[in-house]
Amino acid sequence: MITKSKLIIYVLVVALILSFALHGYTLGQTNALTEQNMLLLNLACSLDSAEFKNLLDAMDSTDDFKQLLGEKHEAAWAFHKDRLYATCYN
C-alpha cells in the first residue's frame, strides 16, 4: 500500500529528475517547475527525518534514471537520495 508520505517523496524525486532533463524550456516554464519542486520539497521535509530516510531507502531507482544513466543509475540514485535527505536535514 502506498502511503501519503511515500507518494510525496516519489513525486518529489520524479519532479527533480524531470527538472534535470528540461534544459530547453523557457524561463517562465522553468520557474513554474521550480516553484512546484519547492512545494513538494517543503512537504517532504515536513516529515520526521527517520521516516523520510526510511522511505528514501525503500525506494528503487526510477525507470527515467535507468534509461538516462544505464549501468551508473544505482550510484546516481544513491547520490540523489543522499542529496534529497541532506537538503531537508543537514
**Per-domain residue ranges for the chain?**
4-89
List, for residues 61-88, the tens digit of each pLDDT value: 777 778 877 888 888 888 888 888 888 8
Q: Cβ-count burial of 84 within 10 angstroms (0-12 exposed, 13-18 middle, 19+ buried)?
A: buried
> Given this model, what pLDDT does residue 21 score?
56
- Answer whether residue 60 shows pLDDT above 60: yes
- pLDDT tops 70 at residue 18: no
Residue 19 to residue 90: CA distance in whole angstroms: 22
Which of 76, 79, 78, 54 lies closest to 67, judged by CA? 76
Distance, C-alpha 86 to centroid of its chain:
12
